[in-house]
Amino acid sequence: MPARLRTAAARLLLPTVLALSFAVQAVGALLPSVPLLVAAAAVGLAADIALHRWQRGMASALGKLNATVTVRQAVRDLLMVTGLLRIEEQDYETKYLALVCGLLVFYALHFACQALAISVRRTRTLPVVTRNIDASALRLRPAPPALLMQRAGQRLLMFGLPSSVGLLAAAVTGSARLAAAGIALSAAFAVVAVAVLLLRLRPGRRPVTSEEALEWFEAWLAEYQPTVGMYFSGGTSSAYQANMWLEPLARLEGRPLIVLRERFMVRKIASTDIPIVCLPKVADLMRLEQSTLKMLIHPSNSGKTSQVLRIPTIKHAFVNHGESDKLSSCNPYAKAYDEVWVAGPAARERYALAAVGVDDKDVVEIGRPQLDVIQPYAGAPTGPYTTVLYAPTWEGWDGNPGNTSVIEAGENIVRALLADPGVRLLYKPHPLTGSVEPRAGAANTRIQEMIRAASAARAAEHADERPAPSAAAELAARTAELDRLTTSSSRPGADDAERMLLQTAPEPGRAAAVTAATAAWEAAYWASFPAWEHQIVTGARPTVYACFNVADVLISDVSSVISDYLESEKPYAVANTSGLPEQDFRVTFPTVRAGAVLTPDASGIPALLESVRHPEKDTYAEARTELKLHLLGPSDPPSVVRFNEAARALCAEADEHRAAMAVRALPVIPTQRDAESTLDSEHVRG
């Protein structure tokens, strides 16, 4: 069975067991049959607990079908009581009426607990969420246990466990006292939970009010006096767009600040010493107008970007999260910013040709300051294996078949690479692959299956050529150290008050420690597996830049990956799934002109590998140097310097604008002549 089918079957196993348990329990209650009743109820309860523990997404999907955990637990208890009544048909009024009333009391307490949890959560939802800022002045308190606050389904299952066990015991022994004891214990748990939450609603235990939190935030702004910053808004999978600008932002002159709009994004931003503030409401965002903030860079466009552009005291620069020949790299929205910062002349020309309303005077070439980690080309591979990085982009929003090679060419490319015994393949698909086009997701899954099978076959051939156990231990140690430095101290789903309580000011020197730990982790990662082993890289680590440094050649699509990879001047190839002839393809997409072009059947793979292994056959070396200059600009002055100069100039414009606004706001003071004229006119009127 293919891996994707096994995965789908595994995901459906618990829901199937859960559905069958209700059917069997109903049969056991109606027959009645004590073994069927007890076994089905026990299996169903275990499946429900496992579902909430390991498959929360599936539990949410059942909830959308109105099969919520409350409904499931109530049906399970109803069937148990029905079975008990059927087993003992006499005197059921005196024996089991009290049990039904007890269950109703327990469910009433459960709903009361849920209502209180919502109320407590609302009091702990603050108008501003921060990270890397000391929020001790707010005197925040830890949140109640997550079981009480957020996990209503797990709470019902856990608190209802004694009643379920008691009902099962009553069915086996015939003693209603066991059921009564279990229900009483469940009700007692619920009473304690209600009491804990009620205490949190006392005036003295509530967090600060929204106005108090905003006053504290404004006081912090006045003390910190930020000058430069980054504004970001996006979905859960888009954080990488902001993360690539963290280090360049940290190196800017001035006092940097990161402004976010979505609460969940506070945790998504990678480790940094830069203060982070999240202002979900527009009214609160406007408070930045009175701050010392002079300019913001924008790595992406979003619906909420227009809101911050309303602040007249702040200048805005669009830096994008990558540049390519696609139309998305010259979006008309860019004209809304004060300036558009691009890597090199190619992007300037792209905006001019697109004629989307961006004036050439507003385009500033700054290079790509985050590319200084990429190592230069060192020549042909020195070892027995040629490392090929296949990094296709995603399918995009417009449905253009030429956006990604995964669907039409991906499997052919991977098959041709795996057929070469001297190739080590690194496969790093775009994080959004399959998010729009299901065929891309399916092809991505098949490609990964092919790579795993090839790795398994190679492992059998090289059974005695594994790294020493110390390599795995070293990687584990480096991973633990890097996680300690970069993982947020707040748990997933933490509320605003809890997150601000735990995310205090960073330790001095942590940014340098993260950089050193990252380098050590990357070295340990590549050393942890043999040189012949293929790798599938889908997580945040290693980064695509780290993959650039170990790759001998890149295969990609028309995307910003090519522009960034050219910093190394290593050979690359582009898959042409656009349907255009090769010459037209090169003319339409200038980033292709210094690389090989692969057709969907991947027939050009052997020639590509030959040119990599024998540089004298590489006909694009000089073209890559020229294209690098065209795409990324000159290396002197360095991109970091140009980035800082652009920020300094835009801050100066912000200062000039504020000064002009201040002059226009001054009241007009009348001169002596104006005063005399006024008196004369009044005398005439008199």
Q: What's 32's DSSP letter?
A: T
What are the helix (H) ranges across 462-581?
469-486, 496-502, 510-527, 544-550, 560-565
pLDDT score for 174: 80
Per-residue DSSP letters for 168-183? HHHHHH--HHHHHHHH
Classify each residue of 214-224 as buried b or exposed e, where b means 16 or more C-beta atoms within 10 Å of its C-beta: bebbeebbeee
CB atoms within 10 A of CB 467: 15
Contact by Cβ (8 Å): 242, 299: yes
Contact by Cβ (8 Å): 504, 134: yes
Q: For the sheet containing 339-342, what is the strand order? A: 129-131, 276-278, 256-260, 228-232, 295-298, 315-318, 339-342, 363-365
**Predicted confidence (pLDDT) per residue in 285-331, tens digit:** 999 999 999 999 999 998 899 999 999 999 999 999 888 777 667 88
pLDDT score for 235: 87
pLDDT score for 676: 45
pLDDT score for 32: 86
Q: Is the peptide bond before 142 cis (omega within 30 degrees of 0)?
A: no
Report the DSSP pairing between strands 276-278 and 129-131. Answer: antiparallel
pLDDT score for 682: 41
- Judged by phi (left if over 0) then psi (alpha if -120 to 50, else beta), residue 540 lies in alpha
Take residue 165 and report the two structure tokens written for it.
């066990």
* Whether pLDDT at 523 is above 70: yes
Helix 3-30 / helix 438-461 crossing angle, nearest 10 deg: 110
Q: What structural domains and CATH numbers belong to the chain?
A: 3-126+139-205 (no CATH), 225-367 (3.40.50.11820), 384-466+530-632 (3.40.50.2000)
**Predicted confidence (pLDDT) per residue in 219-232, tens digit:** 999 999 999 999 99
Cα–Cα dist 545/554, whole Å: 12
pLDDT score for 684: 38
